[in-house]
């Protein structure tokens, strides 16, 4: 069987944009009840539909390269099962199954993907440490590769190589029996970041490059952090594409089963780091599933959009507008765009209160709260976009109703979680047309955090890419840099979190948001003044007006939730103060006192405050701000 990919297509695969590979095959088969003492390669013949279903799940998750179920289909490993005479049969069947899956999705959806023939380590040591000679090793690899090529693979991946000498024999075998196929070679590393034969990542990269590999890298190992270190050390010493496919951490035994605990979101965040470190291909190894690959896909798409902000994903091919039509306009001055824009531009102190949309379709309580806040003199209402990935009324709908029925300005929180770049543009153009002029650009909480954890996230862009898109619309240009007929005139806000453990990363992202076009920022709730002061010092030189978040705690339980579930930095003294409250009323009073103290302490350091109204306690927000209102009673 021939491959369905031309040499030109394969060459592009090794020279173009980031490539997403699949995840673990064994983990998926194990989850289906196939015990670990079975020969998984045999399933290509005995249970082909099971293997096929795994491939299909990875393709649906967005994998561009899937590996055949042939990791252990060499003569040495199959000998443990008395199946050493089945090398050709298992590899041929594995290749054909994967080929059929890739061809089927291409025919049905137009999606292009490639089949990589998986070649695992032999499971034996080569001489002089072991008894297997280099010639015997090369012959074993050649037998497997010949069958994979016959089955129609597009390329080869020799993975989890225990020694560089073994990897070199795999390369030689590929050149002898299938010179038309490119070969990717992946070492595995220990906790010291060296290959298992003691070779450093630098020396391994040099030797594999000299041996003729087409791409090299690291897979398996002890998880993403080890693989990241290996990639960082390989990058300076080779010009070959680098490939990273880490385990989902180390497995734990739960009720007799090996379970990998690393979440898809964690793997996705590390995929971003791997690409930033120089990896051209990313995927997963043991413990990873289609959910991990889907999350990585979203992260990679966000990176692609963020890198240019305007056109790398919003190119003429997507937006249908040629770059030659680009006609930028100057947006109105900040003070001319909205009340909030005017106060920020003039250096006046801004007051905002957050109102969360209802879970149903009746916003009467929220509208009554907005009316109370308007009478009190609050400048604007902040409306979150399905916070904590919960299902609520759309933020844009509530913003419109507040502005039309109450007459107070709103700030629309807009996340990247639920919309692709076309939906984002449509929403923003609609918001501008409807009179919503203040946008807070957010990445958004992943669905896993909410009440629909199986919902699909999009994340075509993150908050930085979203800021760039809004900035482009302000200059009269859509995401393809085509004209939209004028400026949308948004004020552009970004979020900041002074309390995160990795403050260096937060500062870098903040700087990127400012560079992208953010005009002011709103922080997460502040309870530790020292962290806010540190953050403000770190952003000197690229500081924009900062609006400090203030949250009136309602109880010790509320404080514990903020600290443990929302990961808000909460000093021990705050927890101790809330613990002294003996009843509900005392808890509310102490929470209000703490909030007022926070506001007084930060007032001279920032240009405004956003006060939350937890559990719809709008009157509490008024009290924190020290405002007077004719009807200061709580809105039920």
Buried b or exposed e, range 383-407, using 16+ CB within 10 angstroms? bbbbbebbebbebbebbbbbbeebe
pLDDT of residue 259: 47
User: Where in the sequence is the domain holding 468, given as residue range(s)?
Assistant: 323-551
> Which pLDDT band holds residue 447 (cuts at 50, 70, 90)?
low
Mean pLDDT score of the chain? 87
Domain count, the chain: 2
pLDDT tens, residue by residue, 118-151: 999 999 999 998 999 999 999 999 999 999 999 9
Contact assessment for residue 300 and residue 293, using Cβ atoms and an 8 Å cutoff: no
Least confident of 118-132, 439-453, 614-628: 439-453
Within a domain: 592: no
- Contacts from 35-42 at CB under 8 Å and sequence distance 24+? 36/258, 39/72, 39/78, 39/81, 39/83, 40/69, 40/71, 40/72, 41/69, 41/70, 41/71, 41/72, 41/73, 41/77, 41/78, 41/90, 41/91, 41/94, 42/81, 42/83, 42/86, 42/90
- Do 455 and 494 fall within a single domain? yes
Q: Answer yes or no: is pLDDT of 311 > 90.
A: no
- Tell me, yes or no, whether 199 and 298 share the same domain: yes
Of 18-27, 72-81, 380-389, give the lowest mean pLDDT range: 380-389
Residues 587-614 have a mean pLDDT of 91
Q: Report percent pLDDT > 90 for the chain.
A: 60
Alpha helices, DSSP H only, in 454-582? 463-474, 503-516, 529-538, 556-564, 572-579
CA 187-188-191 angle, 5° bins: 140
Question: Does the residue 620 lie in any domain?
Answer: no
450 within domain boundaries: yes
Same domain, 52 and 131: yes
Residue 515 inside a domain? The answer is yes
- Does the residue 630 lie in any domain? no
CB neighbour list of residue 202: distance below 8 Å, 6 or more residues apart: 233, 234, 236, 237
Model confidence pLDDT, tens digit, residues 40-78: 999 999 999 999 999 999 999 999 999 999 999 999 999
Based on the fold, state whether residues 362 and 254 are members of the same structural domain.
Answer: no
Same domain? 284 vs 386: no
- 299 and 234 part of one domain: yes
pLDDT for residue 628 is more than 80: no
Do residues 111 and 62 lie in contact, with contact meaning Cβ atoms separated by under 8 Å? no
Work out the pLDDT band at 224, boundaries 50, 70, 90: confident
- Domain termination residue (choose one: 493, 518, 551): 551
Residues 290 and 328 in one domain: no
Residues 97-115 have a mean pLDDT of: 91
pLDDT at 627 over 70: yes
Q: Is residue 69 part of a domain?
A: yes
Domain identity same for 287 and 327: no
Q: Is 441 annotated as a binding residue?
A: no
Q: Is the pLDDT of residue 319 over 50?
A: no
What the block records as the tokens of 180 is: 């038309």
Q: Which of 338, 342, 343, 434 is nearest to 395 (CA)?
A: 434
Predicted pLDDT at 339: 95
Whole-number pLDDT of residue 278 = 92
Q: Do residues 190 and 158 lie in contact, with contact meaning Cβ atoms separated by under 8 Å?
A: no
Domain end (from 271, 305, 339): 305
Query: How do 242-246 and 215-220 pair as beta strands?
Result: parallel
Burial of 528 (0-12, 13-18, 19+ CB in 10 A): middle
**Residue 413, domain CATH:** 3.20.20.220
Task: Show the CA angle centred on residue 27, arms to residues 24 and 31, nearest 5°.
Answer: 140
Domain contains 57: yes
220 among annotated binding-site residues? yes
pLDDT tens per residue across span 255-299: 444 444 467 877 888 898 999 999 999 999 988 999 999 989 988
Does residue 29 sit in the same domain as residue 135? yes
- The pLDDT, as a whole number, for residue 192 is 84
The per-residue pLDDT for 218 is: 96
- Split at pLDDT 50, 70, 90, the class of 559 is confident
| Mean per-residue pLDDT, 462-474 | 90
Q: Is pLDDT of 561 > 90?
A: no
For residue 583, tell me if it sits in a domain. Answer: no
Which residue reads 């100057």 in tokens? Answer: 330
Q: Look at residue 1 in the predicted model and tell me its pLDDT.
A: 44
Whether residue 406 is found in the same domain as residue 522: yes
Residues 277 and 358 reside in one and the same domain: no
Same-domain check for residues 229 and 297: yes
pLDDT at residue 236 greater than cutoff 80: yes
The residue out of 532, 551, 570 marking a domain boundary is: 551
Q: What CATH number does the domain containing 254 carry?
A: 3.20.20.330
pLDDT, position 449: 54
Question: Is the model's pLDDT at 445 over the cut of 80?
Answer: no
């Amino acid at each position: 069987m021939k491959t369905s990919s031309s040499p030109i297509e394969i060459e592009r695969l090794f020279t173009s944009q980031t490539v997403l590979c699949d995840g673990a095959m064994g983990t998926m088969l194990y989850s289906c009840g196939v015990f670990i003492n079975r020969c998984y390669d045999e399933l290509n013949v005995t249970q082909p539909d099971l293997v096929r279903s795994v491939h299909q799940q990875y393709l649906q998750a967005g994998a561009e390269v899937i590996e055949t179920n042939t990791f252990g289909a060499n003569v040495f490993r199959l000998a443990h099962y008395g199946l050493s005479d089945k090398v050709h049969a298992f590899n041929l069947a594995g290749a054909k199954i994967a080929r059929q899956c890739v061809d089927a999705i291409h025919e049905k959806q137009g999606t292009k993907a490639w089949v990589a023939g998986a070649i695992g380590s032999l499971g034996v040591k080569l001489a002089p440490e072991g008894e297997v000679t280099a010639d015997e090793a090369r012959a074993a690899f050649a037998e497997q590769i010949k069958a994979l090529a016959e089955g129609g693979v597009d390329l080869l991946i020799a993975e989890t190589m225990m020694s560089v000498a073994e990897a070199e024999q795999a390369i030689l075998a590929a050149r002898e029996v299938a010179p038309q196929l490119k070969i990717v070679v992946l070492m595995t590393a220990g906790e010291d970041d060296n290959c298992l034969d003691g070779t450093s990542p630098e020396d391994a990269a040099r030797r594999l490059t000299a041996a003729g590999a087409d791409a090299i890298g690291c897979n398996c190992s002890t998880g993403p952090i080890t693989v990241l270190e290996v990639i960082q050390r390989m990058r300076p010493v080779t010009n070959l594409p680098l490939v990273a496919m880490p385990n989902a951490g180390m497995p734990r035994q739960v009720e007799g089963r090996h379970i990998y605990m690393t979440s898809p979101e964690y793997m996705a965040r590390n995929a971003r780091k791997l690409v930033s470190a120089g990896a051209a291909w990313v995927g997963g190894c043991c413990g990873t599933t289609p959910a991990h690959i889907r999350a990585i896909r979203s992260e990679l798409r966000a990176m692609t959009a963020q890198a240019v902000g305007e056109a790398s994903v919003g190119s003429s091919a997507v937006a249908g507008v040629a770059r030659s039509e680009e006609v930028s306009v100057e947006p109105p001055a900040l003070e001319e765009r909205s009340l909030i824009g005017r106060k920020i531009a003039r250096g006046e102190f801004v007051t905002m209160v957050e109102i969360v949309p209802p879970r149903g379709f009746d916003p009467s309580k929220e509208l009554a709260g907005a009316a109370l806040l308007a009478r009190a003199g609050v400048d604007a209402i902040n409306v979150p976009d399905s916070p904590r990935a919960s299902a609520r009324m759309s933020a844009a709908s509530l913003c419109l109703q507040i502005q039309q029925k109450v007459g107070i300005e709103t700030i629309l929180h807009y996340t990247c979680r639920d919309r692709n770049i076309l939906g984002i543009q449509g929403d923003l153009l609609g918001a501008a047309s409807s009179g919503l002029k203040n946008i807070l650009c957010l990445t958004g909480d992943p669905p896993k955090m909410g009440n629909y954890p199986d919902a699909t996230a999009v994340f075509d862009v993150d908050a930085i890419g979203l800021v760039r898109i809004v900035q482009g619309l302000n200059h009269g240009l859509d995401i393809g840099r085509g004209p939209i007929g004028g400026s949308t005139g948004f004020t552009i806000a970004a979020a900041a979190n002074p309390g995160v453990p990795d403050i260096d990363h937060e500062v870098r992202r903040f700087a990127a948001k400012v560079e992208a076009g953010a005009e002011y920022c709103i922080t997460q709730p502040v309870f530790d003044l020292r962290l806010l002061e540190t953050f403000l010092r770190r952003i000197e030189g690229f500081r924009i007006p900062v609006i400090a978040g203030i949250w009136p705690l309602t109880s010790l339980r509320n404080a514990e939730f903020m600290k443990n579930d929302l990961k808000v930095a909460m000093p021990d003294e705050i927890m101790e103060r809330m613990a002294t409250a003996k009843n509900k009323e005392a808890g509310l009073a102490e929470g209000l006192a703490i909030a007022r103290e926070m506001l007084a302490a930060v007032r001279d350091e920032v240009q405004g405050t956003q006060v939350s109204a937890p559990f719809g306690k709008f009157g509490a927000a008024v009290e924190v701000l020290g405002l007077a209102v004719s009807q200061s009673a709580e809105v039920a």
